[in-house]
Amino acid sequence: MPSSSRPVSSSSPASPEFEQSDAEDLADTAEEKSRSGIQSIEVGFRLLDVLTNEPRAMMLRDLAQRAGMSPAKAHRYLVSFLRLGAVSQDPVSGRYELGGFALQMGLARLARVDGVKLARIALNSLRDQLDQTVGIAVWGNQGPTVVHWMESSHPAKASLKLGDVMPLLSSATGLLFAACLPRSKTQVMLDRELAATRRTMADIEPHLADIRAHGASRVEGMLLPGIHAFCMPVFDSTGDLALGLIALGHEGSFDTRWGGEIDTALRDCANQLSYELGYKAGER
């Protein structure tokens, strides 16, 4: 006699517990894939990275060696890059270099980048890391002008505010701009400050040369007694000074050493911002 029980259909709805577990597994898999990325793209990018940092077109064997892969493997990637316009090849010498699409991509990036905006974002973490007052200065109509300021948990008692124009010869910010900008931009302001202090350009040139040699400006209690400061240059794609990153603090809690914590952190931040703006070290 046939059983009265009905077989469970394979299309029966899954339990809510199963659906939730299944969804979580899918989410975990998606997250893992997101973290792992696509390895072949990262491998191929090594070729573009080498071409970006090499001033001349390269033979396949040299390009492959620099990218850490065999010539046969490099050639497969280059075929695709040629089709996409990311790479071009000289029909006579066979050498490879960056193509038209790479240029358009770079120009699009430069057109959209805002140095002050990038610096403001970067200074958030830098201020928290150092717990020192930090800021940004740009060259304005009247001279080096403070356009952003973030206080530490122990604010320096400095009478600085947004829009302040810093003196060229008695502030870390001003000295950096005096050392890095063309004299045609700074000479009028320099002459005015030199006349007020009865000094000459011969008196300050060694100091400006020292700033250029260190790649940064540093003062100890010069503008404000007991307040020390660094100012680090950020360069744009043409090698011109785009802005200065400022860090200042009280004597006793502010590391003024070259190579110290503040100098190193501020320098790393400035170098990264310069890179984001298209600057290549050694172009100045």
Q: Which helix (H) or strand (E) holds 44?
A: helix 39-53
Domains in the chain: ranges and CATH: 39-111 (1.10.10.10), 113-276 (3.30.450.40)
Mean pLDDT, range 127-148, rounded to an integer: 91
> Would you say 97 and 87 are in contact if contact means Cβ atoms under 8 Å apart?
yes
**How does pLDDT run across 110-119, given as a tens digit for each residue?**
666 688 899 9
Q: Which two tokens stand for residue 216?
A: 């940064």
SS3 category, 265: helix
pLDDT at 113: 63
Say which residue, 22 or 5, is predicted with more confidence.
22
> Would you say 116 and 243 are in contact if contact means Cβ atoms under 8 Å apart?
yes
**How does pLDDT run across 70-92, given as a tens digit for each residue?**
999 999 999 999 999 999 999 99
Model pTM score? 0.67
pLDDT at 280: 83
pLDDT at 47: 94
**How does pLDDT run across 230-239, given as a tens digit for each residue?**
999 999 989 9
State the pairing for strand pair 144-150/217-220: unpaired
**How does pLDDT run across 139-171, given as a tens digit for each residue?**
988 899 998 989 888 776 655 677 888 999 999
> Would you say 99 and 108 are in contact if contact means Cβ atoms under 8 Å apart?
no
pLDDT at 17: 45
Is the pLDDT confidence value at 279 over 70? yes
Q: Which two tokens stand for residue 195?
A: 């006349």
Is the pLDDT confidence value at 123 over 90? yes
Mean pLDDT, range 254-281, rounded to an integer: 94
pLDDT at 283: 59
Mean pLDDT, range 36-49, rounded to an integer: 87
Is the pLDDT confidence value at 95 over 50? yes
pLDDT at 155: 72
Q: What is the residue-averaged pLDDT of the chain?
A: 85
Please enumerate in sequence order all residues whose Cβ is within 8 A of that of 77, keeping only pairs 6 or more positions apart, or say none. 43, 44, 47
Q: Which stretch, 29-38, 117-126, 259-268, has highest mean pLDDT?
A: 259-268
Is the pLDDT confidence value at 9 over 60? no
Phi, psi of 216 (to 5 degrees): -170, 165
